[in-house]
Structure formats: structure tokens, C-alpha cells
């Protein structure tokens, strides 16, 4: 495969309604889109979601990273092995720019698959993508009436698992939990995401214990990387901790003290630095007996949703939940002709869509909506 061009640009698609949590409020996508083209005219696309509060990246820094390495990639990354080798040889650079590299890597994997006439799974030596994938309903930190309406909408679609965003405002959080209880939702079907609300475990314990609600798990209640505090909190509440911002790389697994029964890893392809590193993390988690959730950034398009399906398929034996696949449930438009979206009961059937048998990631991208330029440099 000879790469003739590698372009990147920011992607901003308005949401149908704003989404809020403790770290940010968002009304449009904040993504980097990469378009790779081969000499034979084949085109591959990749997406990354730079987040300052997750990996320290912005769209601007991600664009600069692509600009700094664009010529090197065009000259050297001619097949999947070369992509994997660059990823391994430059781990520290990817550690600092995971969303940017994720967008590039996905575009190149997609392009390789299209040039070679193979699906992404076949290209990577994985089993074909098939079957159903079941997604969790995600409820943002919104006014109570909106919360009630959105919960009712999810329940009318048949959802049974929920993730709610905590605000840190005790009365506000209590009212949302009362709504869940009145709606007949079991606490063991609810995960809470605090988005690093509290600075110490005792403050978090005071709030969470006072809610008197036995969540199945609590995600990132403390500052990123406070593993000891989160472990103490898990023991005090007799619950499990979902690590998201605190767990971006395989080497961070060594920071987890105590039994892995307390921990659940949230794997988001963009945050992890791409598909290859996400798959590597799955293998490391499996060796430790660690359960995982395959998550998503708010506002991901079908490009990242498709890559996450590959990860979820490989994690099926240790998978506790899957998030994302909102498509035009949330976005005013998607990048593809047929958005990858959950349906009734949160289920996505990939067998009927034939996604797993098409070259690359199998998406038909609507190129006219893209506003890309050569990487800055």
C-alpha cells in the first residue's frame, strides 16, 4: 500500500440536545478526523476525541502531532505490521497524544483493509464480527424533568442497564435516584459516573453513603490516578470502582493494589491510543482477571463506534457493559450513510448489517460533509 495523502481536520457536528457531566458540558462533537488515501484511490477514515480533562489533548495539539509526523507516516506505514511497529517503537509519544494517534491508526487500518479487500478483523487476524452488542443507557446531569423524560424514553425502548452522571449536589442527585426507584430500576442495573468530582475519599464517601443507593459500580469519583483512595472507597461502600481517566495504558495496571474484584476498566478506543493498544489492554486485563466496559466519548461518530465493536468482540468473556452507538439519536448528522446505532433494548445487530464482511471498517462515509485540510506544519 502506497499512501498518497494524509489529511486531518477538526470535526464539529451539533448535538440534538446538550450533554452535561461534572467535567464538561457539550453541545457539539470535539473530534479530530483523519483521511488517508492510497495511490490506487482507496480512502480510509479515522477519528479521535481529544479531551483536556482525559488525556491533556486538544484538537489543536492533536493536529500539531499529526503535522509533526505526517511525512514519516506517509513514507513508512505501508502495511499493518509497519503500523504496529511504529505504535510500539513510539509508545511514549502515543502516551502523550493518544487521541491523535488513534485517529491516524484507525484511518490507516481502514485504508489497509480497503486496499487488500479485507475487513479490519481479518487484517488483524481476529474472528469475524458478528452477533448482537448490547448498550447501556447513559443519562447526563440534566434538570430533573429532562432526566425523567429521558429515562422514560430509554425504558420505552426496552433498556435495562443505566449509567447516570452525578452532579455532587446532594439534593439534585437524590432526586434523580428517586426517579430511578419510582421507575422500577434496580440499583444493581445502575452505574454512577462522578467524573473526578471529589478530591479525597472521605468527602466522596460522605456524599455517596448519604445517597443510600447501592450502585452496581461507581466510576472515577476521585482525582485521576488516586487508586488507593478509590480502593478504600470501594471497600467502604461495598461496591466496585470503574477506572476511566485513571487507566489509559497497560503499564498503569501495576498501580492497582489489592484484589482486582474491586476494579473495572473503562476502555475507550480514543483514550487508549487506538485499536491496537485497546486490544493489547484487553489481553492484559484478561490475564489479571479484570472485567471491562467498552466505553465511548460523548459525540463519537460511527467511525469510533465501529472500532469499539472490534474491541467489545475481543473482550466478550470479560465484558460487563458497552456504551456509545448513539449515532443520530444524539448527533444532528453522522459521517456515514447508515449510522451505527443501538435499537430496541439497546441492541445493535452487526450480522444483519454485514459490517464484519466489508473491507476495512466497512463504512460508507459521506465525504462531502467533511471539512479537512492538510495537517498543519
Give the per-residue pLDDT at 54: 85
Give the per-residue pLDDT at 80: 96
| pLDDT tens digits, 90-121 | 999 999 999 999 999 999 999 999 999 999 99
How far is Cα 372 from Cα 375, in angstroms, rounded to an integer? 9
Contacts 24+ apart (CB under 8 A), 280-283: 280/250, 281/249, 281/250, 282/311, 282/314, 282/315, 282/318
| pLDDT tens digits, 17-26 | 765 555 556 6
DSSP conformation class of 195: S
DSSP conformation class of 27: E
Q: Is the pLDDT of residue 329 over 80?
A: yes
Angle at 271 between CA 270 and CA 274, to 5 degrees: 45
Q: Do the beta carbons of residue 243 and residue 217 sit within 8 Å?
A: no
Q: Is the pLDDT of residue 372 over 60?
A: no
How far is Cα 203 from Cα 186, in angstroms, rounded to an integer? 26
Give the per-residue pLDDT at 145: 95
Give the per-residue pLDDT at 276: 98
SS3 367: helix
| pLDDT tens digits, 49-96 | 999 888 889 999 999 999 999 999 999 999 999 999 999 999 999 999
DSSP conformation class of 2: -
Give the per-residue pLDDT at 50: 94
DSSP string covering 28-88: E--EEEEEEEETTS-EEEEEE---TTTTS--HHHHHHHHHHHHHHHHHH--SHHHHHHHHH
Give the per-residue pLDDT at 24: 57
Distances in Å between the alpha carbon of 117 and those of 109, 129, 318, 360?
12, 16, 31, 7
Q: Where are the alpha helices (DSSP H) in the chain?
A: 59-76, 80-89, 91-96, 98-116, 120-123, 144-156, 170-182, 201-211, 227-237, 269-272, 275-288, 302-314, 350-353
Whole-prediction pTM? 0.93
Q: Exposure pattern of 56-74 as b/e (b: 16+ CB <10 Å)?
A: ebbbebbbbbbeebbeebe
For 78, other C-beta atoms within 10 Å of its C-beta total 17
Give the per-residue pLDDT at 278: 98
Residues counted in the chain: 377
How far is Cα 163 from Cα 312, in angstroms, rounded to an integer? 18
Q: How confident is the model at residue 272 (pLDDT cuts 50, 70, 90)?
A: very high
Q: Is the pLDDT of residue 227 over 70?
A: yes
Q: How confident is the model at residue 291 (pLDDT cuts 50, 70, 90)?
A: very high
Q: Do the beta carbons of residue 18 and residue 266 sit within 8 Å?
A: no
The beta-strand segments (E) located in 235-368 are 240-243, 263-267, 291-294, 319-322, 347-349
Q: At what angle do helices 98-116 and 80-89 cross, to 10 degrees?
A: 160
Q: How confident is the model at residue 222 (pLDDT cuts 50, 70, 90)?
A: very high
Question: Which among 195, 199, 245, 225 has a CA at the least distance from the CA of 20?
Answer: 195
What share of the chain has pLDDT > 90, as a percent? 81
Q: How confident is the model at residue 373 (pLDDT cuts 50, 70, 90)?
A: very low
Joined grid coordinates for residue 217: 459500580
Q: In the predicted model, what is the mean pLDDT of the chain?
A: 92
Question: Which among 177, 194, 196, 193 has a CA at the least distance from the CA of 185?
Answer: 177
| pLDDT tens digits, 175-186 | 999 999 999 999
Joined grid coordinates for residue 246: 485513571
Amino acid at each position: 500500500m502506497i499512501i498518497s495523502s494524509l489529511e486531518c481536520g477538526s470535526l464539529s457536528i451539533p448535538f440534538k440536545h446538550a450533554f452535561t457531566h461534572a467535567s464538561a458540558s457539550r453541545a457539539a462533537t470535539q473530534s479530530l478526523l483523519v483521511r488517508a488515501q492510497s495511490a490506487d484511490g482507496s480512502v480510509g477514515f479515522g477519528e479521535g476525541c481529544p479531551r483536556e480533562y482525559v488525556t491533556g489533548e486538544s484538537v489543536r495539539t492533536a493536529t500539531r502531532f499529526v503535522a509533526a509526523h505526517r511525512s514519516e507516516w506517509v513514507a513508512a506505514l505501508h502495511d499493518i505490521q509497519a503500523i504496529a511497529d511504529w505504535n510500539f517503537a513510539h509508545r511514549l509519544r502515543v502516551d502523550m497524544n493518544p487521541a491523535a494517534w488513534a485517529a491516524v491508526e484507525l484511518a490507516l487500518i481502514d485504508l489497509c483493509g480497503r486496499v487488500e479487500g479485507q475487513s479490519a478483523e481479518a487484517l488483524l487476524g481476529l474472528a469475524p464480527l458478528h452477533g448482537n452488542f448490547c448498550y447501556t443507557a447513559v443519562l447526563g446531569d440534566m434538570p430533573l424533568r429532562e432526566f425523567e423524560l429521558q429515562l422514560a424514553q430509554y425504558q420505552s425502548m426496552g433498556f435495562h442497564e443505566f449509567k447516570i452522571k452525578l452532579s455532587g449536589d446532594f439534593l439534585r442527585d437524590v432526586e434523580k435516584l428517586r426517579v430511578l426507584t419510582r421507575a422500577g430500576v434496580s440499583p444493581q442495573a445502575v452505574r454512577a459516573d462522578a467524573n473526578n468530582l471529589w478530591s479525597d475519599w472521605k468527602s466522596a464517601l460522605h456524599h455517596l453513603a448519604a445517597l443510600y443507593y447501592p450502585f452496581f459500580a461507581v466510576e472515577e469519583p476521585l482525582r485521576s490516578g488516586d487508586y488507593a483512595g478509590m480502593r478504600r472507597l470501594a471497600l467502604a461502600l461495598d461496591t466496585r470502582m470503574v477506572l476511566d481517566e485513571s487507566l489509559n495504558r497497560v503499564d498503569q495496571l501495576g498501580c492497582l493494589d489489592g484484589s482486582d474484584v474491586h476494579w473495572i476498566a473503562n476502555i475507550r478506543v480514543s483514550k487508549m491510543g487506538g485499536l491496537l493498544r485497546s486490544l493489547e489492554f484487553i489481553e492484559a486485563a484478561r490475564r489479571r482477571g479484570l472485567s471491562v466496559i467498552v466505553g465511548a466519548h460523548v459525540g463519537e461518530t460511527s467511525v469510533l463506534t465501529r472500532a469499539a465493536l472490534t474491541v467489545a468482540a475481543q473482550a466478550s468473556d470479560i465484558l460487563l457493559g458497552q456504551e456509545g452507538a448513539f449515532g443520530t439519536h444524539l448527533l444532528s448528522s453522522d459521517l456515514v450513510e447508515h449510522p451505527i446505532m443501538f435499537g430496541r433494548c439497546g441492541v445493535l445487530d452487526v450480522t444483519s448489517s454485514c459490517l464484519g464482511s466489508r473491507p476495512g471498517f466497512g463504512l460508507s462515509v459521506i465525504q462531502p460533509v467533511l471539512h479537512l485540510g492538510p495537517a498543519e506544519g
